[in-house]
Structure 1
Amino acid sequence: MFNDSKHAFDAAKTEYEAFMLDPHDWVPNNRTLPVVIYRRALSPKSGNLAAAFEILFEHNAWPSQWRNSIFDYHHFHATAHEVLGVIDGSAQVIVGGPGGRVVTIAAGDALLLPAGTGHCLQSFERHFQVVAGYPEGQQWDIRREALHPEEQAAMERLPFPALDPIDGKHGPLVEYWLHAA
């Protein structure tokens, strides 16, 4: 269990779903690593969710790099895996590129996107905001077109993070991602 003075993460209360995405048009998605949605990674009523996600991500070697919304255009990151902790509101996000899968996420949820996974904000309620974290040593980029073969190969060689951004040594990243290696 992760604790700070106001927030608690309890893996027993967090539910998650994992799913694979095939490449789609110009979006490579990730052929070996699933997208993971953590439901109620943090209680939405626990206070300052932004600070809580930042502390949690830092604790698990996924330091946060920004707070904002999700871009409302299709894009992906080829140079880093990404975790998004929802700190306010709710949204429908398209994952997988144009025509991809629509997922609903809300305050307290987190969305883990392996490198190459397309995503786009479709709609939102309230003041939708997220905190974004990336594995130590990885720097995100923004891609809106197909990768060249060398770029695709570099993306596929990205190292796997040693810890799950939400549950450290025991989460779905460890279960699904590290076993794919």
Structure 2
Amino acid sequence: MPIKDQIKNFAKKLVENHPDTATLRALVRARKPATIHFRDDGIVPNHPRFPVLLYRGAVNLRSRRFPPDVIIDRLFDTNGWGRSWRDTVYDFVHYHSQIHEVMGVARGTARIECGGIKGWTLSVKAGDVLVLPAGTGHRLIESSRDFLVVGAYPQDGTYDECTDTKERPDAMKRIAKVRKPKTDPVLGSGGPLLNLWRREASRS
């Protein structure tokens, strides 16, 4: 999301009541993510090594003390993924060439296309988390009226938005240079992302 949306969300977070670290731990389910590797389809580069990670039901959002978007936002922030936003997902194919992205579903359901038009359409619901490595094409296909996503980014990297095939040559070079995150946005420094992305990188 554009910087203005991140600033708007930051201001909101300053006045929110959010869960502490111990409460967050109790709300997170230690799930093994599904891994989906998308190849370059000629339009969307996707990532040459790292797969998309899909955590099903990763967060228990039934807390009566905190809104679901606050829980997910705080979880990502605690694990070192910041610059967050809260909204829906764009309904046109786009990808980020200089940064990885995580999206946690706070409310509702949706079908999100990942990997470009030749990729997969994933059905997600509240509590699910998607981790998209740099270069992964994504767009919203359809959603419930109450659909709400919390998005965030690791500390390293710069937000950008690629939609034009003319950008491909330079974008592919940038994607290959994006560093692996230091933490898993759901499970922190001991989360499976670190091993899964290292394992994929070693196969290339």
* 2:83 counterpart of 1:57: no
* CA displacement, residues 49-78 of structure 1 (integer Å, 9 cap, x when unaligned): 211111111111111421100001111111
Amino acid at match of 2:198: L
* 2:2 counterpart of 1:10: no
- Pick the aligned partner of 1:103 from 109, 113, 122: 122
**More helix by proportion, 1 or 2?**
2
Instruction: Report what 1:35 is aligned to.
Output: 52
Quote the offset at 1:5 in angstroms. 7.0
Percent identity between the aligned chains? 33
Quote the offset at 1:143 in angstroms. 0.8
Instruction: Report what 1:173 is aligned to.
Output: 193
Give ranges in structure 2 of 5+ residues lacking alignment.
Answer: 1-20
Amino acid at match of 1:89: G
* 2:172 counterpart of 1:155: no
Deviates more, 1:139-148 or 1:67-76: 139-148
Instruction: Report what 1:23 is aligned to.
Output: 40
CA distance in 2, matches of 1:170, 1:7: 16
Q: CA RMSD in A?
A: 1.8
Provide runs of 4+ in structure 1 moved above 6 Å.
none
Distance 1:26 1:5, change over 3 A: closer
How many matched pairs? 178
Rg: which structure is higher?
2
Q: What's the secondary structure of 1:3's corresponding residue?
A: helix
Q: What's the secondary structure of 1:53's corresponding residue?
A: helix
Give ranges in structure 1 of 5+ residues lacking alignment.
Answer: none
Deviates more, 1:154-163 or 1:42-51: 42-51
Distance 1:157 1:85, change over 3 A: same
Under a length normalisation based on structure 1, what TM-score does the superposition of the two structures give? 0.90
